[in-house]
A and B are shown apart, each in its own frame.
Chain A
């Protein structure tokens, strides 16, 4: 049985801001990634997910603030830490003239812990032909090579930027099963950004969400599932009001007889009280990640 390693966070950002010219890609992010979990990094296009992952891996230095990766500043990551860090980029750069086999051997030579058995198993599971030249690979196959290069050294922190977008559903499932295996066997911490929420939903247990460069959510997935709901209201006595003042009501649509609300509350009595005070019957349904996504990623505080 694995015991969650709650001691040291493998990734800590403190007041991190990153600017590209005038544009702030990340704004004042403070975040401690919990160890031994699979974290879903969510956000719309341009929210800052890739920038956050690149800073974490030391590929970018923050314009302000600090990022500590595997307990040292990410700008000073060196051999002992880099052999424990895995990064799979959206569009990885490889040695195009090599075959997949050569590229794997090349990368393996840098890592004392490179796991040949794991590599063999993944080459089969992901259905990669090691004899093909990198330059000839389809986008999906390039993504598979990226995954192989990112995980075969059995990292303890694995950063995945849209790693499954080009994979077919069968290979995608194998990939997700494999991530769970890494978590079970090695207690690896995985940060995964993806828009394929149906898939991510199966494995993540923590959600971090960004909106236009700001951190808007950092919560266990269970708690999110238990606090978001869709309420269908039916009036039992008179017309429904046009708006509801309760702060936990996020969205509201409907007319005088029926209404559909999206709510967020951890108070289990809220539904009973709401029904009594507005004279309504409420049918409550939990939301899945797809339905939560627009609510999660538009929480940025309105600029004054």
Chain B
């Protein structure tokens, strides 16, 4: 089963970036465990209806970042990573979201204490 990626081609974020971010997120959340094979550049390019250059750029950078590695000729797999790298990978997407939230909190004049309290409540609640 290939990774399910949704690429928004009109939001201005380069498609290769979106592919990288989504693959990283799926690895961090455990959807793509270490050792999982990724579809070939060609196959993914056909599935997503994207330029193959875009796919190979995303794959190339993920390989360079040590997220993916090449096995058995051309096949790319999810690389096994040490615990600290895994933690960083899990915190990164959260930091991105919270940066926006912090900006909004300052705009709305919500005090840090109030903002943290709200975040705690959201963490404890089961309701999404």
Contacts and interface: CB of A to CB of B under 8 A. Distances in A.
B110 interface: no
A201 B49 contact: no
Contact of A184 (B52, B100, B103): B52
Interface stretch (A91-99, A140-148, A282-290): A282-290
Interface in B51-90: 51-54, 56-57, 74
Interface residues of B, number: 25
A201 B103 CA distance: 30
Contacts of A166: none
A222 B16 CA distance: 8
Contact of A203 (B10, B51, B107): B51
B103 A180 contact: no
Contact of A288 (B11, B50, B107): B11
A180 B74 CA distance: 22
B123 interface: no
Given A4-B53, A180-B50, A183-B51, A226 B14 contact: yes
Interface string A268-285: 000000000000010101
Contacts, number: 67
Interface string B9-34: 11111101000000000000000000
A202 interface: yes
B91 interface: no
Interface string B76-116: 00000000000000000000000010010011000000000
A202 B9 contact: yes
B10 A288 contact: yes
Interface residues of A, number: 33
Contacts of B42: 1-2, 184
A1 B57 contact: no
Contact of B106 (A37, A281, A287): A281
A176 B9 CA distance: 14
A176 B49 contact: yes
B57 A222 contact: yes
Contact of A285 (B12, B14, B57, B74): B12
17 contacts: A1-B41, A1-B56, A1-B74, A2-B52, A176-B49, A203-B50, A203-B51, A205-B54, A225-B12, A225-B13, A228-B12, A281-B103, A283-B103, A286-B13, A288-B10, A288-B11, A288-B12
Interface of B: 9-14, 16, 40-42, 45-46, 49-54, 56-57, 74, 100, 103, 106-107
